Structure 1
Amino acid sequence: MSGPVIAAGRRHSVGLRADGTVVAAGTGTSGECRVEDWAEVVAVAAGNVHPAPNTGRSHSVGLRADGRVLATGWNGDGQCDVASWRDVTVVAAGWRRTLGLVADGTVRAAGRRHEGACDVGRWREVVGLACGDWHSVGVRADGTAVAVGNNRRGQCAVDSWRDVTAVAAGYLHTVGLGADGRVSAVGERSAGACDVGGWRDVVAVAAGSYHTVGVTAAGRVLAVGGNDAGQCEVAGWRAIVAVAAGSAHTLGLRADGTVVAAGDNAYGQCDVADWPAIRSPH
């Protein structure tokens, strides 16, 4: 059981400490930062990457070592109603939505159903998950990908992907990491978030609202897409082992457990320099 150890939402950031507790930075107006009592957590997720001003409310999700799921924050669509879930191995959070991958390869969903992003009941043999705003993406054991939800920019057109090891999803785009270290992307192209065709030796990817981030095997960070708040100004980062992308900010986890941030800090979501050591993602 493993998963993200750092996560970024619209106005907050979440980190998994080495001792299994969780730390958060940013606004807590909806309770999304109330994670101080969480323990025995092995992965975290943060919902709501939508950039619109009226969607600032969000939620945070934690996966426990016993396969149970914790959630705190805005629950207007039932996205935090996950207390009954069991045997979960991976969690993902999007706009008004939470997904949980069960040990048998099926997927559970809680939250907003209007766009079809929670229609994951027929998925089988899934090994990885990602939530965009209005769509959900899964990686199957055979390296293919599946997607449901809003497809108005072609962000669900992943049927042709092969040898995929991980996926990430933003507002209107989807990113897939191949076993060969190359990256594919589909969806809205106007902001440049899909301009990943030249990336090589990538070992991890993340997607914000309008930007895409990748970590190379050498610990360097790549970023393309919207940079209005400086969220793509990560070229100087070194020894990075994991990344997370929110609406307009980016987090990077160094090998020594410290976290760096770039981009929008209007709500303190980038105030992560004093976080205690974050758990290694491996």
Structure 2
Amino acid sequence: MPPLAAGRRHSVGRRSTGGAFVVGNGAAGESNTHLWRDVVAVAAGNVHAARNTGRSHTVGLRTDGTVVAAGWNGDGQCEVGGWLDVKTIAAGWRRTLGARVNGTVLAAGRNVERQCDVGSWQNIVALACGDWHSVGVLKNGTAMAVGNNRAGQCDVDEWSDLVGITAGHLHTVGLRFDGSVVAAGRHGSAGCQVAEWRRIVMVAAGSHHTVGLLANGGVLAIGDNIHGQCDVRGWRDIVAVAAGSAHTLGLRLDGTVVAAGNNADGQCDVDGWRGIQQAR
């Protein structure tokens, strides 16, 4: 489960003690995680619209399958206090998703584009949130998607052999069992040009870029690089990656974190983080 998460203006890391580090803009309370305990995974809501700058949220999954959230709750995206038996979480623009142990999915938050219409989903093992769409991987390795499809970001019906999935502003990226990668979304988007990637073990999508973790601990990135969010080729010994709107995070084997990209709000100030760890 992901020990790192990146939003538009903040970054989150799971401490080995079960708490959470948060850096960046905390104007909406998304940094109010000081009392969190027994967290095994984190997610960060990614605010795309400029009018909502600074309004985002942070989500944590606990060992007992309950969920906690902090930050902006304008659409009810933090109303997860009653969720039980959750095994994986995802956070997007104004919403939160949680897949239960039985494979069904819970949703809270904005549903104007029907991105929370996941009540009928079954056998889900992985989730991701884009700005206006939601995607899931089924136990059989196929994918489902709901929400805005104006750029074809929900055209995932023919995908197979998936083990992971991620979603950006207007694109979706899937990781296959064999380490290859597939993508759907805005025609000609550089963030979708991943067909030649191989030996990938994890993928992460920012608003307009895509990041892939190689089996050897290196990292690939493609897409919008206006803030240097794709400048990751020198990274080594990476075991997990996360992508925010315009920044990228990488967790090293030793529990430290590296960052590249937009740091206007201090979301890349992770040099002091220690003991960031994936839950076992």
TM-score range, shorter chain: over 0.9
Identity within the alignment, %: 63
Matches of 1:55 and 1:154, distance apart in 2: 26
Mean alpha-carbon deviation: is it higher for 136-145 or for 271-280? 271-280
Q: How far has the Cα of 1:66 moved from its partner?
A: 0.5
Aligned length: 280
Give the CA RMSD over aligned residues.
1.0
Q: Deviations over 1:234-262 (max 9, x none)?
A: 00000101000000000000011100000
Matched, 1:152 2:150: yes
- Kindly indicate whether the alpha-carbon contact (under 8 Å) linking 1:212 and 1:223 is maintained by their aligned counterparts in 2: yes
Give the distance between the partners of 2:18 and 2:187, measured in 1 at CA.
38
In structure 2, what is the equivalent of residue 188 of structure 1? 186
1:164 paired residue number? 162
1:15 and 1:218 mapped to 2: Cα distance?
Answer: 22
Amino acid at match of 2:215: A
Counterparts of residues 71-110 of structure 1 (less than 5 Å): 71-110=69-108
Q: Once the 2 structures are TM-superposed, how far is the Cα of residue 191 of structure 1 from its aligned partner?
A: 3.9
Secondary structure of residue in 2 paired with 1:193? helix
1:71 Cα offset (Å): 0.2
Residue 269 (structure 2) pairs with residue 278 (structure 1): no
Q: Relative to structure 1, is the Cα distance of residues 256 and 141 closer, same or farther in structure 2, using a 3 angstrom cutoff?
A: same
| CA distance in structure 2 between the partners assigned to 1:213 and 1:189 by the alignment | 18
In the alignment, the residues of structure 1 paired with residue 219 and residue 240 of structure 2 have an alpha-carbon distance, to the nearest angstrom, of 9
**Paired position in structure 2 for 1:247:** 245
Which of 7, 10, 22 matches 2:8? 10
Does the Cα contact within 8 Å between 1:49 and 1:208 map onto a contact in 2? no
**Closer, same or farther: CA 204–67 of 1 in aligned 2, 3 Å:** same
- With the length of structure 1 as denominator, give the TM-score of the two structures: 0.97
CA distance in 2, matches of 1:190, 1:27: 32
* Cα deviation code 1:6-39 (max 9, x no counterpart): 0000100000011111110001000001111100
Partner of 1:45: 43
> Out of 60, 63, 74, which is 1:62 matched to?
60
Give unpaired runs (5+ residues) of structure 1: none
Give the Cα–Cα distance (whole angstroms) in 2 for the partners of residues 17 and 203 of structure 1: 22
Q: Is the Cα contact below 8 Å between 1:205 and 1:212 reproduced in 2?
A: yes
1:163-221 deviations in Å (ceiling 9; x for gaps): 00000000000000000000000001444000101100000000000000000100010
Corresponding residue to 1:32 among 30, 55, 61: 30
Distance 2:260 2:279 in 1: 20
Q: For 1:69-88, what per-residue CA distance to the aligned partner results, in whole angstroms no more than 9, with x for missing partners?
A: 00000000000000000000
CA distance in 1, matches of 2:30, 2:88: 19
Deviations for 1:40-92, whole angstroms, at most 9, x for unmatched residues? 00000000152635443100000000110000000000000000000000000
Q: Is the 8 A contact 2:40 2:278 kept in 1?
A: no
1:223: which partner in 2? 221
Q: What's the offset of the Cα at 1:281?
A: 5.6
1:49–1:233 Cα change, 3 Å = farther
Contact 1:167 1:174 in 2 (8 A): yes
The residue type equivalent to 2:115 in the other structure is: A
Determine the C-alpha separation between the residues in 1 that align with 2:235 and 2:49. 25
Partner letter of residue 133 of structure 1? D
**Whole-Å separation in 2 of the counterparts to 1:164 and 1:109:** 22
What is residue 233 of structure 1 aligned with on the other side?
Answer: 231
Consecutive unaligned residues in structure 2, runs of 5 or more: none
- Aligned-partner residue type, residue 261 of structure 1: A
Q: What amino acid does structure 2 have at the position aligned with 1:57? A: R
Pairs within 5 Å for 1:199-214: 199-214=197-212
Q: Distance in 2 between matches of 1:192 and 1:98?
A: 27
